[in-house]
């Protein structure tokens, strides 16, 4: 069975129009019609009925569409595998990073790749996990490194836990609370709280630890997906960052930031995962990302 005929039929089925499908496929309508006719001859039955200005699937057509999608996808993966093998020494790494992984990985990863693998093209996307999952499923991204709690398990996703990292309350070293031995939630709330959007599970853990007044929906005064930007604000003001400690690692090591000693202690972690499409051939170059993530995402 001709894969191109199936691809052409799927385009007509998805658009409901020979003209729009032909435009999408960069074919003439006559060439597209011949392709569909050839497929109908091959399956010995009509696949489309003309209803007014639209083309609707026949019962046979609906059956063929379900199977054709799987066949076309598998054929695409075969072509992709062959291409990846030809480009084993280079290629493209298209990654989506969540807020925490972005702060921990993005700049170090680009520096590492530029110095050690200059032939590999690295494209990094930041943004909400929900949007990145759409991009992953559309095959615009090869993998994500994101908060595991923000990814709902699904048959089409392969979710691999990669790290569990401690959260902390972080402030600049000259902050009024920096040298207190036992900082309370009331002390913290005297200052702006900066955080990323948190999962429901983390919100529950905070409330269990500190009481209902610790609900981030109430206490967060500065909120965005850019952890690096939040850390920068904390280093310049008396705002306090609530998030993964490793995101502030460089500032803590340099002495410009510090972890506040709260009572009770935070004892909350962020769980990160490597997410890819189940059944999709992975480029050899992605092993470089896996190795880097394993080395870098530690407390």
Residue carrying the six token digits 């930007």: 229
The CA-to-CA distance between both ends of the chain, in Å, stands at 54
Q: Which residue has the higher pLDDT, 119 or 223?
A: 223
CA distances 96 to 100, 139, 153, 194, 290, Å, are 12, 12, 18, 23, 13
Q: Which strand (E) or helix (H) includes residue 293?
A: helix 286-296
Enumerate residues 6+ apart whose C-beta is below 8 A from 154.
none
Listed range (82-91, 96-105, 137-146, 251-260) with the worst mean pLDDT: 82-91
Biggest CA-to-CA distance, the chain: 81
Read out DSSP for 223-264? Answer: E-S-HHHHHHHHHHSS-EEEEEGGGGHHHHHHTSEEE--BSS
Q: Are the C-beta atoms of residues 234 and 257 closer than 8 Å to each other?
A: yes
**217 pLDDT above the threshold of 90:** no
Mean per-residue pLDDT, 146-153 = 93
pLDDT in tens, 73-118: 877 767 766 665 555 455 789 999 998 999 899 999 999 999 998 8
Is residue 29 over pLDDT 90?
no
pLDDT for 90? 59
Q: In this structure, which long-range contacts are made by residues 103-111, counting pairs with CB atoms below 8 Å and at least 24 apart in sequence?
A: 103/227, 103/228, 103/231, 103/244, 103/247, 104/244, 104/246, 104/247, 104/249, 104/296, 104/297, 105/145, 105/292, 105/293, 105/296, 105/297, 106/228, 108/292, 108/296, 109/289, 109/292, 109/296
Residue 87 has what pLDDT?
55
Q: Which of 87-101, 202-216, 250-264, 282-296 has the highest average model confidence (pLDDT)?
A: 250-264
H helix runs in 16-156, sequence order: 18-25, 29-43, 59-86, 99-116, 129-137
Position 21 confidence tier, pLDDT thresholds 50, 70, 90: confident
Domains of the chain by start residue, with CATH: 3-86 (1.10.10.10), 92-163+271-296 (3.40.190.10), 164-270 (3.40.190.290)
3-state secondary structure of 114: helix
Mean pLDDT value across residues 57-82: 81
The pLDDT value recorded for residue 238 is 97
Pick from 188, 196, 222, 3: which is nearest to 97 by CA? 196
Cα separation of 42 and 38, whole Å? 6
Instruction: Tell the residue number behind the tokens 């790494």, with chain if given.
Output: 93
Chain-centre distance for alpha carbon 228: 18
Among 18-27, 74-83, 198-207, 249-258, the minimum mean pLDDT is found in 74-83
Average of per-residue pLDDT values in the chain: 89
Least reliable range by pLDDT among 9-18, 78-87, 131-140, 206-215: 78-87
239 pLDDT band (50/70/90 cuts)? very high
Express each pLDDT in 190-208 by its tens digit: 999 999 888 888 888 889 8
CB 178 within 8 A of CB 258: yes
């Amino acid at each position: 069975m001709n894969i191109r005929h199936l691809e052409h039929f799927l385009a007509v089925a998805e658009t409901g129009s020979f003209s729009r499908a032909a435009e999408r496929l960069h074919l003439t309508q006559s060439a597209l019609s011949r392709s569909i006719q050839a497929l109908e001859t091959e399956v010995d039955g009509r696949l489309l009925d003309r209803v007014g200005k639209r083309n609707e699937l026949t019962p046979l057509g609906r059956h063929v569409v379900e199977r054709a999608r799987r066949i076309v996808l598998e054929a695409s993966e075969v072509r992709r595998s062959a291409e990846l093998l030809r480009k084993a020494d280079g290629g493209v790494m298209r990654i989506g990073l969540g807020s925490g992984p972005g702060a921990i990985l993005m700049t170090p990863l680009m520096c590492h790749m530029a110095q050690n693998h200059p032939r590999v093209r690295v494209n990094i996307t930041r943004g909400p996990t929900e949007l990145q999952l759409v991009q992953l499923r559309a095959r615009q991204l090869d993998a994500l490194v994101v908060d595991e709690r923000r990814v709902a398990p699904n048959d089409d996703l392969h979710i691999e836990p990669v790290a569990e990292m401690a959260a902390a309350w972080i402030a600049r070293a000259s902050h009024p609370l920096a040298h207190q031995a036992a900082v309370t939630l009331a002390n913290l709330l005297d200052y702006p709280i900066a955080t990323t959007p948190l999962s429901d599970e983390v919100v529950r853990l905070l409330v269990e630890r500190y009481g209902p007044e610790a609900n981030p929906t109430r206490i967060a005064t500065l909120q965005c997906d850019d952890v690096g930007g939040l850390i920068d604000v904390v280093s310049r003001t008396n705002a306090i960052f609530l998030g993964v400690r490793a995101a502030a690692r460089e500032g803590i090591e340099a002495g410009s930031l510090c972890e506040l000693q709260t009572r009770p202690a935070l004892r909350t972690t962020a769980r990160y995962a490597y997410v890819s499409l189940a059944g999709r051939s992975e480029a050899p170059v992605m092993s470089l990302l896996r190795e880097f993530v394993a080395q870098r995402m530690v407390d």
